[in-house]
């Protein structure tokens, strides 16, 4: 027994049982007792069917769509930060976060839209939280949120290209394959099975090239300019992706990336469950050092950093945008909301578990952790996969596969974010600022600001800003649900508790990160030493610019906290009013 | 015989479930994006040819009337789509 406990297997199995309980018991109770779902109630997909945005789709299709839309780097890289506190706190948060908050958030975001004519977050906030001002606050909040997501993802993709030589070539092959797939599907209307086989072959070639041709080498332009160069190259790709029509690049890219994305998760989960047979044991301590837990060293104090670091693996505000803007409009019957919303979220919890298992097996004190490298995921994942698929000879192949896996997860989301920024800019900037709404200018602005952000601070700091703002959005969506449920005179406890918890956690996390930047700014003002600032090369060579960017992050932190408080105030007011309504 | 048919139905249902998931992950987003692109092009076409129905006379009514019988099946959904307010959070998936 102790042998089994010293592998990730039983822990992963325990989490699977907890998820099964959540799905079959708790979520079912909420579904039946709170929302009183009925297959006979007409959904917006039928009521407003237009064959484009509103049309009924089967639950399996919608589940696949929802999962692919919500799964990104959060559950994969988040556990990397969380494991600094030991794997046990990370595992507990992944399990409890999913059980009590994550699924409730995703499912409810779909239900509030379904019960309100398929409206998305903006109109729902307008309707239930008091008109135009809260809606404008939400818009302002989203703009900062998009910039921070972009900064994190651009930085990470550039980092993956740099630290995994060969991944860039593999990515380019996937890009070319996506363009060809787009033509095959839409121009030549070829059979989907043929296109799928072509896509899978191209991915295999990409992975093989990534493993066989490790070029260009790490830091090929020196430590100062390599990351900047990769970021700019990525920006060029993103610029064209965001401007091209969806079927030209973005949707074929999503198509082609679906296969390694889901394949990778399955390979990892099986690998983790087979660890008692493959002989892989836990390498990380269950609880981290005291100094790390209280934040003297490492990413920050366990509260609140742990809760925002795992991001989408436990709960994510991004999901409420997906659920209310698209999924709810295509839900065939209300009873499908649980398998689609809760089911997809719990599956994302599985993704977080599989990533955590990959980190758990890395030996304590290993280089990949000591140097704080994101390569840790690939190190653990390739071991889990090679242990039962090909042995040591396949290690380079799996390393290339999982590096590409990371890039693909980040890239598919980032193209959508860049495009969304462009569309929102077009709507938002009118009158004398209409030039900012121009599609070329909007896209360039939506890429350059994040690159500037990415050059200052480490990815860890950016990640906590991202996690904080992302989960604050989740808290706001949960609060909005509580208002709607209270107006329905149904028990709102299942969302109001998590909503308040998320608001406290995220505002604390944003406050912590803002404090860190403010401390750096103050230190610089006292010492004049650029090394005390959060700044990556080449920004570090320009002290005033580095100082300015640190000040910008303090301001952004204050704005995000301010907008979060304002929104929470309006939501709480509306919630109290809804509760006191006769 | 009956049982066999039932088993087969069950198998088909499972297969369509797996197929549906793969379709949902890989293609559903593409299909809806494609439909949306077509929708915007149709809006443009309808506005040019039948714009006078919305108060924008673009082409002479003679041609609009000649085209009307072909456009009739689309008019209801066209109006519903065109008049529906779209928020910035509705543009999330493009």
CB proximity list for A231: less than 8 A, separation 6 or greater = A154, A155, A158, A451, A454, A455
Residue ranges of domains in chain B: 2-84
Q: What ipTM was estimated for this complex?
A: 0.87
Q: What angle do CA A119, A123, A128 make, to 5 degrees?
A: 105
Is it the case that residue B16 has pLDDT exceeding 80? no
What pLDDT shows up at residue A548? 93
Q: Which residue has the tokens 């003679």?
A: B62
Question: Across the interface, do B89 and A324 touch by the CB < 8 Å criterion?
Answer: yes
Contact A460, A372 (CB under 8 A): yes
Over residues B21-36, the pLDDT tens digits come to: 989 988 898 888 888 8
Tokens for A73?
A: 């780097």
Q: What is the DSSP letter of A34?
A: I
Chain B nearest-CA residue for A242: B94
Q: Which of B30, B85, B87 sits opposite A254 (nearest CB)?
A: B30
pLDDT along chain A (582 residues), means of 10: 77 93 97 96 92 90 92 88 92 96 97 95 93 90 92 92 94 96 90 93 96 92 90 96 88 90 89 89 90 88 94 92 93 96 94 91 73 76 93 93 94 92 87 90 95 84 92 95 95 95 95 95 94 87 91 94 94 94 71
Q: Show which of residues 52-71 on chain B sit within 8 Å of chain A, judged by CB atoms.
A: none
How many residues are given for chain A?
A: 582
φ, ψ for residue A331, nearest 5 deg: -75, 125
Question: Across the interface, do A61 and B23 touch by the CB < 8 Å criterion?
Answer: yes
Q: Which of A59, A68, A325 sits opposite B92 (nearest CB)?
A: A325
Tokens for A24?
A: 């079959």
Question: Across the interface, do B37 and A247 touch by the CB < 8 Å criterion?
Answer: yes
A contacts of B92 (beta carbons < 8 Å)? 120, 321-322, 325-326, 420
Residue ranges of domains in chain A: 2-580
Quote the pTM value. Answer: 0.92
Helix (H, G, I), strand (E, B) or coil at A415: helix
Q: Which of B19, B30, B77 sits opposite A252 (nearest CB)?
A: B30
Q: Say how far apart CA A295 and CA A310 lie, in whole Å.
A: 17
Q: Which of B26, B33, B81 sits opposite A247 (nearest CB)?
A: B33
Q: Show which of residues 449-478 on chain A sit within 8 Å of chain B, judged by CB atoms.
A: none
CB atoms within 10 A of CB A268: 27
How much is the CA Rg of chain A, to the nearest whole Å?
23
* Maximum C-alpha span of chain A: 70
Q: Say how far apart CA A97 and CA A103 lie, in whole Å.
A: 9
Q: What is the DSSP letter of A36?
A: -
Q: Which CATH architecture has domain A2-580?
A: Up-down Bundle (1.20)
A139 close to B (CB below 8 A): yes
What pLDDT shows up at residue B1? 46
Q: Best mutation site among A64, A71, A186 for testing chain B: the one with the most B CBs within 10 Å?
A: A64
Q: What is the DSSP letter of A334?
A: G
What pLDDT shows up at residue A73? 86
What pLDDT shows up at residue A2? 60
Bridge partners of A57, per DSSP, are: A331
Size of interface A-B (CB pairs under 8 A): 140
């Amino acid at each position: 027994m102790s042998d089994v406990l010293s592998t990730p297997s039983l822990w992963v199995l325990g989490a699977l049982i907890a998820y099964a309980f959540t799905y079959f018991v708790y979520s079912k109770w909420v579904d039946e007792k709170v929302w009183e779902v009925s297959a006979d109630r007409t959904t917006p997909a039928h009521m407003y069917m237009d064959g484009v945005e509103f049309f009924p789709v089967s639950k399996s299709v919608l589940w696949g769509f929802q999962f692919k839309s919500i799964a990104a780097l959060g559950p994969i890289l988040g556990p990397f930060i969380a494991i600094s506190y030991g794997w046990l706190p990370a595992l507990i948060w992944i399990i409890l976060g999913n059980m009590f908050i994550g699924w409730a958030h995703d499912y409810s975001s779909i239900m509030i839209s379904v019960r309100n004519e398929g409206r998305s977050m903006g109109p729902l906030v307008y309707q239930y939280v008091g008109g135009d001002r809260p809606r404008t606050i939400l818009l302002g909040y989203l703009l900062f949120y998009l910039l921070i997501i972009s900064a994190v993802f651009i930085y990470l993709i550039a980092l993956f290209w740099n630290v995994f030589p060969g991944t860039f070539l593999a990515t380019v092959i996937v890009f070319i394959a996506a363009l060809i797939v787009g033509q095959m599907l839409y121009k030549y209307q070829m059979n989907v099975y043929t296109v799928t086989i072509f896509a899978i072959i191209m991915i295999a070639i990409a992975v093989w090239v990534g493993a066989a041709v490790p070029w260009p080498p790490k830091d090929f332009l020196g430590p100062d300019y390599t990351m900047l160069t990769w970021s700019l190259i990525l920006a060029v790709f993103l610029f064209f992706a965001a401007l091209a029509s969806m079927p030209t690049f973005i949707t074929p890219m999503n198509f082609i990336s679906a296969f390694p994305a889901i394949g990778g998760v399955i390979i990892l989960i099986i690998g983790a469950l087979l660890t008692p047979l493959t002989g892989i044991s836990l390498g990380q301590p269950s609880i981290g050092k005291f100094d790390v837990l209280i934040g003297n060293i490492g990413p920050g104090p366990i509260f609140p950093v742990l809760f925002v670091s795992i991001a989408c693996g436990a709960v994510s505000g991004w999901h409420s945008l997906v659920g209310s803007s698209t999924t709810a409009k295509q839900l065939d019957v209300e009873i499908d909301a649980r398998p689609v919303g809760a089911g997809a979220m719990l599956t994302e919890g599985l993704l977080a578990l599989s990533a955590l298992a990959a980190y758990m097996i890395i030996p304590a004190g290993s280089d990949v952790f000591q140097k704080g490298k994101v390569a840790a995921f690939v190190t653990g994942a390739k071991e889990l996969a090679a242990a039962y698929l090909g042995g040591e000879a396949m290690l380079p192949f799996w390393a290339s596969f999982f590096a590409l896996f990371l890039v693909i997860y980040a890239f598919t989301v980032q193209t959508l974010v860049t495009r969304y920024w462009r569309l929102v800019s077009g709507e938002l900037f009118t009158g004398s600022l209409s030039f900012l709404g121009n599609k070329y200018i909007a896209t360039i602005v939506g890429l350059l600001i994040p690159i500037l952000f990415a050059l200052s601070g480490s990815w860890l700091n950016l990640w906590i800003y991202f996690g904080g703002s992302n989960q604050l959005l989740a808290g706001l969506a949960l609060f909005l649900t509580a208002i709607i449920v209270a107006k329905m005179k149904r028990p709102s406890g299942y969302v109001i508790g998590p909503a308040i918890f998320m608001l406290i956690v995220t505002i604390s996390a944003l406050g912590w990160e803002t404090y860190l930047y403010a401390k750096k700014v103050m230190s610089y003002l006292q010492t004049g030493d650029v090394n005390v600032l959060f700044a990556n090369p080449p920004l570090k060579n320009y002290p005033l610019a580095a100082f300015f960017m640190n000040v910008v992050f303090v301001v952004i932190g204050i704005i995000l906290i301010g907008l979060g408080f304002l929104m929470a105030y309006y939501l709480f007011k509306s919630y109290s009013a809804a509760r006191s309504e006769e | 015989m009956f049982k066999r048919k039932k088993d087969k139905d069950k198998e088909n249902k499972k297969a369509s479930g797996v197929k549906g998931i793969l379709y949902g992950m890989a293609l559903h987003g593409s299909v809806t994006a494609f439909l949306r692109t077509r929708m915007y092009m149709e809006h443009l076409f309808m506005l040019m040819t039948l714009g006078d129905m919305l108060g924008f006379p673009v082409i002479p009514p003679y041609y609009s009337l000649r085209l009307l019988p072909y456009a009739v099946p689309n008019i209801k959904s066209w109006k519903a789509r065109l008049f529906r307010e779209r928020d910035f959070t509705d543009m999330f998936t493009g």
